[in-house]
């Protein structure tokens, strides 16, 4: 079993990603691989899971909640609660997302310009607690 934290989870699509505690690439998470009720799943939730090589990369299976001794499970999310705006991204994931957006929206930017913009956005995101780095 591997421990990690849920980076994000889109309940309407039924998938998300887990950042392994040991570091490395984020692992794909599908709702069908949860061994607990989906309403308990949210960004930041500690989980344990097995890792398999899926068709598109690493995939989590047998995902279960990890609780600190003396703590109960996290409060379930309301059915209509949307925490998609509350995700805290890893620094690398944030950089990838920003780079892809910049390339899609302004393909004429140079690599140097992308790095400069990405650096400013990364600092802004860090200052606001939007990234973990």
Per-residue model confidence as pLDDT tens digits over 37-56:
888 888 888 999 999 988 88
Which whole number is the average pLDDT over 61-65?
94
Residue 116 has pLDDT above 70, yes or no: yes
72 contact partners, CB below 8 Å, separation of at least 6:
none
**63 and 11 together in one domain:** yes
In a domain, 79, yes or no: no
Give the other-Cβ count within 10 Å of 129's Cβ.
8
In a domain, 74, yes or no: no
Q: What percent of the chain has pLDDT over 70?
A: 82
**10 and 57 together in one domain:** yes
Last residue of a domain, one of 30, 51, 67: 67
Residue 53, beta-bridge partner list: 58
Which whole number is the average pLDDT over 26-41?
91
In a domain, 15, yes or no: yes
Q: Give the DSSP letter of residue 73.
A: P
In a domain, 133, yes or no: no
**9 and 62 together in one domain:** yes
Percent helix, strand, coil in the chain (nearest 5)?
A: 30, 30, 40
Structure confidence at residue 85 as a pLDDT band (50, 70, 90):
very low
**20 and 62 together in one domain:** yes
Sheet strands (E) in 15-56 = 15-20, 27-30, 46-54
Residue 117 lies in domain = 91-127
In this prediction the pTM is: 0.55
In a domain, 50, yes or no: yes
Domain count, the chain: 2
């Amino acid at each position: 079993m591997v421990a990690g934290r849920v980076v994000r989870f889109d309940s309407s699509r039924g998938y998300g990603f887990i950042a392994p505690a040991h570091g490395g690439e984020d692992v794909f998470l599908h709702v069908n691989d949860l061994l607990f009720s989906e309403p308990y799943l949210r960004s930041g939730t500690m989980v344990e899971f097995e890792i398999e090589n899926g068709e598109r990369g690493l995939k989590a299976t047998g995902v279960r909640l990890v609780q600190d001794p003396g703590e109960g499970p996290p409060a379930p999310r309301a059915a209509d609660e949307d925490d998609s705006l509350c995700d805290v991204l890893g620094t690398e994931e944030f950089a990838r997302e920003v780079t892809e957006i910049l390339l899609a929206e302004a393909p004429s930017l140079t690599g140097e310009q992308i790095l400069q913009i990405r650096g400013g956005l990364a600092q802004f995101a860090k200052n606001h607690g939007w990234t973990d780095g």
